[in-house]
Amino acid sequence: MSECYENLLVQRLALLAELNDPIAPELYQTYDVKRGLRYNDGRGVLVGLTQIGDVVGYEIKDDKKIAIPGKLLYRGYDVEELIRDTDSHDEFGFEQVIFLLLFGQLPTRTQLEEFQSYLSSRRTLPESFTEDMIMKAPSPDIMNKLARSVLASYSYDDRAEDVSLVNILRQCIDLIARFPVFAAYAYQAKRRHYDGKSMYIHNPLQELSTAENFLRLIRPDKQYTKLETSILDLALILHAEHGGGNNSSFSIHVVSSTDTDTYSAIAAAVGSLKGRRHGGANMKVMEMMDDIKANVKNWDSEKEIKEYLRKIIRKETFDRTGLIYGQGHAVYTISDPRAILLRDKAKKLAKEKNMLEEYNLYRSIEKLAPIVFSEEKNSDKKICTNVDFYSGFVYTMLNIPRELYTPIFAISRVAGWAAHRLEEVVAGGRIYRPAYKNVMPPRNFVPIEERR
C-alpha cells in the first residue's frame, strides 16, 4: 500500500468519524449534563475534597456568586505571605513550598535544610538514562519527551509497582528533583536533532536551588544573576499548585484512584498540562503578543492598542478565534494574585534587561482588554489578567527558549501533582467512575453482504 493511498484512506476514515461522532447540543440540556464538569455560570461541579490548594475568586451569598479579589492558598496559607517571607529572608522559596504541599505543614529550619539536601541528592539521573532515554529518541515537543522520561523512569526503579505510601513518596520526590534535568536535557536533544545546533550538557549541582540549577542547565556559560533566579523561583512558587479541579491535578486524582503506579499517574498529568487550554496557554499569549507588536505601530497609543484588541475580539485578525489570550479565568474574576505578583517583579527584571517599553505595552493591554471586551460584548462580566499573560514575558526576559515555557510549568506543578497523588492514596479509596448517558438509539444489525 503506497504512502499516498494510506494518506487518502486515513482522510476518508477521519471523515467517517467526523460524520458519526457529533452529538446534538440540545441533548446536553435534555439530560442536564454539566459539560466540562461545569455549571452554566462557570462554577466547577464539586467532585471531591482536598486540603492542598484553594483558588478563591468569589463568594456565594444567597445562592449568588459575588466576585472578590483573587486569593491562592497552599495548605491554608496565603501564597502572598509565603512569598513575602521568602523575600524578607532573601532566600529561594520553591523548596519550602514543595515541603508544605507534600507534608501539609511549614518546615522548621532544620527540616527544610534536611529536605533540600535530600531533594538535591536525587537530581542526578540514573546511569545511561540520558543517552538511552533522552538523546536517542528526541522529540520536537519537550512535553512529550518529559512524559516519556517519566514513564521510562519506571524501568530504572526496582520498586516501581510498590504502592505503599513510603515508596510513592520516594518516587514523587525523585520526579520533583529530576523534572528540571529531564526538561533541560530534552531541550538539548531537540537542539541537536531538529535545529542542527550544538548541545551543552551540564550536571546539576547539589548546592543550588531548583531555579539556579535550571538556568545553569540550559545556558551555555552556566551563568545567571540573583534577580534572574529569584524571579524564576517566584514563577515556580506561583505555578506549583492550583486546587484539585484544574485539569492536570484532577487527572492525577482520577488515574491514582485506579491504584496504578506513580509513573503512570504523573505521565498522565504531563499529557494534560501540555494542552493549549491548560499549561500551553502561555504560548498562545506569546504568539498573540508577536502579532500585536508587529501591527501596533505606536505602543504608547492607548487608542491604537484598543482598536487592535477590538479587531482581535471581532475575529478580524491574529488567529480569528475572538480570544484575547491571557485574559479571563475560570475562577478568578477581579484579579489573579499570581499575575499581580509576577507582574510587579517583572518590572524590576524589565529595567535590568532594558525592556521597559515592552513591559509597558503588556500593562496597557492588561488595562484596556477588559474595557474593549465589555464594549464589544455589551457585557458587565468581569475579566482579569491571568498568570499566563506575564509568565511568557518573564521567560523571554530570562532568555529561555519558548519550547521550555510549558515544561517550566510542569517543573513547578509536579510538586502539586505529587501532593494530590499522596492525598488520593491516603484519603481517596474509591475509583472515579462518573456517568455518561448513551444517546445512540438501538439499531438493527445488517450483514456485511447487505451493507451499502
The reply to whether 242 belongs to the active site is no
The reply to whether 388 belongs to the active site is yes
Cβ pair 146, 183 in contact under 8 A: yes
Catalytic residue among 278, 290, 319, 344: 278
Terminus-to-terminus CA distance in the chain, angstroms? 24
Cβ pair 337, 70 in contact under 8 A: yes
Distance between CA 96 and CA 208 in Å, rounded?
14
The reply to whether 420 belongs to the active site is no
Cβ pair 93, 233 in contact under 8 A: yes
Distances (CA, A) of 403 to 147, 198, 210, 232, 333: 15, 17, 19, 16, 29
Smallest CA-to-CA distance from 145 within 281, 286, 271 is with: 271
Cβ pair 333, 271 in contact under 8 A: no
Cβ pair 178, 121 in contact under 8 A: no
Provide the β-strand partners of residue 53: 74
Catalytic residue among 174, 329, 336, 420: 329
Contacts of 374 (CB under 8 A, 6+ apart): 380, 381
Catalytic residue among 54, 174, 336, 388: 388
Sheet holding 64-74, edge to edge: 53-61, 64-74, 77-78
Cell of 401: 527558549
Cell of 277: 487550554
Distances (CA, A) of 240 to 82, 108, 208, 374, 414: 13, 20, 19, 32, 7
C-beta atoms surrounding 280 within 10 Å:
17
Active site residues: 278, 329, 388
